[in-house]
Amino acid sequence: MLVTKPPMGWNSWNTFAGAVTDQVIRETADAIVSTGLKDAGYEYVVIDDVWSERERDENGRMVPEHSKFPYGMKDLSDYVHSLGLKFGMYSCAGVRTCAYYPGSFDNEFLDAQTFAEWGVDFLKYDFCTFPKNADPKAHYNRMSMALKATGRDILFSACNWGNDNVETWIRSTGAHMYRSTGDIGERFSAVANIAKSQYDLWRYSAPNCYNDMDMLICGMDGVGYVGHPGLCGDTEYKTHFALWCMAGSPLMMGSDIRKIRKETIDLLTNKDLLRIHADPEHRPPIVSYMHTPDCVSMFKHMSNRQFALGFFNLSDGNGRADLRPWEIGFPTTAGFGLKLKEIFTGEVIDYVDDYIGFSLPAHDCKIFIGEYVTK
């Protein structure tokens, strides 16, 4: 099976956008290994848009821009693979990409074969300039078939930004993950709005086809193409990462890994959050109680009779998030309760069977892993 958990890796767009180069990719791959991120499960190194020449060659094939990738994609792919990582690239279902480079519309089989020859393991497939009279379902299915026809295992990351009720049909195309939202930026409002837009849609995410809420902004620190200085700090990064882990979204880092701070590494490699993220049952969370869409609690079934609880304040001021067990079908007459351990502080709550709630500062959260205990 190609995908056994929500994919993890790094994508070039958030920091580098059109400034991505061979050197950036090699240095980033080196850093993913040296920082311990590879050991934590981050394995895909993905080049986003603006990697090719403006036009196809005389044989109709896409060509890497020589000034950025002087050794070609196969040489770069071999280097990434030599580190024990996987190599990813970008194309678009439209006639042109979002930056108006050649897209794959009606060239799916030729482009898939080209990617396979270059040793590509992951394809992000965008949706810009897609003809309005064409069928997105058919064209995403076509690229999926083209990738399979190469004989190479290539993870198919569909990216139509949540359009066309994508969650209801994308799994049937063979995609392994699907973008459910527009683009993220390094603003906590973007994180919060993305999460709130998915409260009723997480249930469509399932093994082998995961709801992708877009790339992580953790550790961008105001730098890069979507960086916004001063708008996010470690509290915002913590809540952002916890939300993505609770939701089981793919974890595709977007910061400059070559310059990443230890605090961000510690967050991205948090073993409890990654255990929640990759739990073998891959169940989506339940939004169990909501004061407002900004102040919510979430319950997530996990394997081995465990569960995760998340308490989130997505507002810009102090807020409160509560768990009322009867809201998740757990009456006080059940004869047992919940034992909880908070993953950031180590705080233990030995027994809860009726109510638990927390006052939280702006943009903050508490995440517990729990088990059932008798009274």
Contact call for residues 155 and 3 (beta carbons, < 8 A) = yes
State how far the alpha carbon of 124 is from the alpha carbons of 59, 103, 121, 160, 314, in Å: 23, 12, 10, 10, 29
Q: Residue 296: enclosing H or E segment and its boundaries?
A: strand 295-301
DSSP for residue 354? S
Mean pLDDT for 308-312 is: 97
Q: Which residues are known catalytic residues?
A: 126, 183
Residue 124 to residue 139: CA distance in whole angstroms: 14
Q: Is the pLDDT of residue 115 over 80?
A: yes
Q: How many residues does the chain have?
A: 375
What is each CA distance from 36 to 222, 262, 278, in whole angstroms? 23, 11, 18
User: Residue 23: how many CB atoms within 10 A of its CB?
Assistant: 12
Confidence class of residue 325 from pLDDT cuts 50, 70 and 90? confident
The 10s digit of each residue's pLDDT in 122-133 is 999 999 999 999
pLDDT at 172: 97
Residue 364 φ/ψ, nearest 5 degrees: -105, 170
pTM of the model: 0.97
- Kindly state the average pLDDT of the residues 308-323: 95
User: How confident is the model at residue 148, as a pLDDT?
Assistant: 98
The confidence score (pLDDT) of residue 142 equals 98
Sequence-separated (6 or more) residues with CB below 8 Å from residue 86: 9, 43, 44, 45, 80, 121, 122
In which band, very low, low, confident or very high, does the pLDDT at 362 lie, cut at 50, 70 and 90? very high
Q: φ and ψ at 188, to 5 degrees?
A: -65, -30
- Does residue 311 surpass a pLDDT of 80? yes
pLDDT of 375 over the 80 cut: no
Which tens digit of pLDDT belongs to each residue from 206-224?
Answer: 999 999 999 999 999 999 9
Portion of the chain with pLDDT greater than 90, in percent? 91
Query: What is the pLDDT averaged over residues 259-285?
Result: 97
Residue of 373 and 326 predicted with greater confidence: 373
C-alpha 247/C-alpha 298 separation (Å) is 10
